[in-house]
Amino acid sequence: MNIGEVLNHTSPALFLPDLQATDKQGILTELVEGLISGTDIHNADTIMAMLQSRENLGSTAVGPGIAFPHGRTLAVQKLTILMARSAAGVDFDSEDGDPTHLFFVLIAPPQDRDHRYIKSLAALIDRAQDADLRTKLMEAEDYDAFCAAMREE
């Protein structure tokens, strides 16, 4: 799956360029609030419980400075991707101990049987290995600039 296809599952309403929280729990809350306000998804508690379980399973901060909270839940009817950024960075239990600045949240319905969201995750993680890209994403002025940087190869 290419990045263009992955970006079809997000939108300007699902872009949070300036997260304010200073700890992991606060960030998760901000991310879930962003999902609710940016879509017609209603059940924040269900999504929060799922993301929390996923973090307990093992931190999703697996990229350099990047986390990929993800999972399936009944609360959504289609693959939904939220992109977010924290200028200050936050402790998201990354393996290298470095703060996390960028967040790609992927929420899929249970019936996503061809594992579309896992393919999207793989494409995003692959793309995120590029250090120049991470700098551009931190500097991008808006959603369009952020997506344009993502699309550059």
**Closer CB to other proteins, residue 6 or residue 41?**
41
According to CB under 8 A, which one of 12, 26, 58, 99 is a site residue for other proteins?
A: 58
Q: Which amino acid is at 91?
A: D
Residue 13 within binding range of other proteins, rule CB under 8 A: no
Please choose, from the candidates 51, 148, 39, the residue with its C-alpha nearest in 3D space to the C-alpha of residue 104.
Answer: 51
Binding-site size, other proteins (CB under 8 A): 32
- Measured CA to CA, the distance from residue 84 to residue 98 in angstroms comes to 17
Q: Are 83 and 104 in contact (CB under 8 A)?
A: yes
Residues 95-134 that bind other proteins (CB under 8 A): 95, 109-111, 115, 118, 121-122, 125
70 is known as an active-site residue:
yes
Q: Which residue has the tokens 């970006």?
A: 7
Q: Which of 9, 70, 101, 115 is catalytic?
A: 70
Q: Which residues pair with 105 in a beta bridge?
A: 82
Residue 59 within binding range of other proteins, rule CB under 8 A: yes
Alpha helices in the chain (DSSP H): 3-7, 24-38, 44-57, 116-127, 131-139, 143-151
Catalytically active residues, by annotation: 70
Q: By the criterion CB under 8 A, which residues form the site for other proteins?
A: 41-43, 45-46, 49-50, 53-54, 56-60, 62-63, 71-77, 95, 109-111, 115, 118, 121-122, 125
